[in-house]
Amino acid sequence: MCIFCQIVNQEIPANRVYEDTDTLAFLDIKPINAGHILVVPKKHYQNFEDVPEEELKKVIVTVKKMGALLKDKLGVVGYNVVENNDPVSGQIIAHLHFHVIPRHQVDGNAFWDQRDYQPGEAEEVMKKLIN
């Protein structure tokens, strides 16, 4: 059983921020910034493609609530919502989860470096995506 399922089942402790019938939100034990929340479906789904749409809607509603909670209770000016899908993207726990990460004007956290497409690269990608 995965660690998030164990948290859902209260087999291991977590700082639970919010819970309803289908979802659970709790503090990440290795936060990017204080207040970093993880939102999970209570049922085990490995990644984004595995979760049925109706379940995903419930999770996203909880993500939205947690973002508003961070703004209201911690006074943050913004937040990131991140879902790492599969190990190559940084998913460590094979249970669908969303990070709701409080952001501050100057917090020193950069999430990714952007780059420019090389000549013709965007067109090649588009061909693959839409054909």
What are the backbone dihedrals phi and psi of residue 45, each rounded to the nearest 5 degrees, phi first?
Answer: -130, 135
Give the three-class secondary structure for 82. Answer: strand
What are the backbone dihedrals phi and psi of residue 82, each rounded to the nearest 5 degrees, phi first?
Answer: -130, 135
**In terms of C-beta density within 10 A (0-12 exposed, 13-18 middle, 19 or more buried), how is residue 67 classed?**
buried
18, 35 Cβ separation under 8 angstroms: no
Reported residue count of the chain is 131
Strands (DSSP E) along the chain, which ranges? 16-19, 23-27, 37-41, 78-82, 98-103
Residue 12 CA to residue 61 CA, distance in Å, equals 25
What residues are annotated to the active site?
97
